[in-house]
Amino acid sequence: MRAYVFPGQGAQFPGMGRDLYERSAVAKDLFEKADKILGFRVTELMFEGTEEDLKQTRVTQPAVFLHSTILAAALEDSIKPEMVAGHSLGEFSALVACRAISFEDGLKLVSARAAAMQKACESAPSTMAAIIGLEDSVVEEVCSGIDGVVVPANYNSPGQIVISGSIEGVAGAAEILKDRGAKMAVTLAVGGAFHSPFMEPARIELEKAINNTQFHKPFCSIYQNVNAMPSTDPDEIKTNLVSQLTSPVRWTQTIRNMIADGASSFTEVGPGKVLQGLIKKISRETLTDSAAF
Catalytic residues: 88, 195
Task: Count the neighbouring beta carbons within 10 Å of the beta carbon of residue 10.
Answer: 17
Report d(CA 62, CA 141) in Å as an integer.
35
Q: Is residue 138 packed enough to be buried (19+ CB in 10 Å), middle (13-18) or exposed (0-12)?
A: middle
The answer to whether the Cα torsion of 286, 290, 291, 292 is positive or negative is negative
Q: Which is it for strands 265-268 and 287-290: parallel, antiparallel or unpaired?
A: parallel
| 242 touches 109 (CB < 8 A) | no
Report d(CA 219, CA 221) in Å as an integer.
7
Q: DSSP H helical segments within the chain, as ranges?
A: 18-23, 25-38, 42-48, 51-55, 57-74, 90-97, 103-123, 136-144, 167-179, 200-211, 234-243, 251-260, 274-282
Q: Which is it for strands 230-231 and 221-223: parallel, antiparallel or unpaired?
A: antiparallel
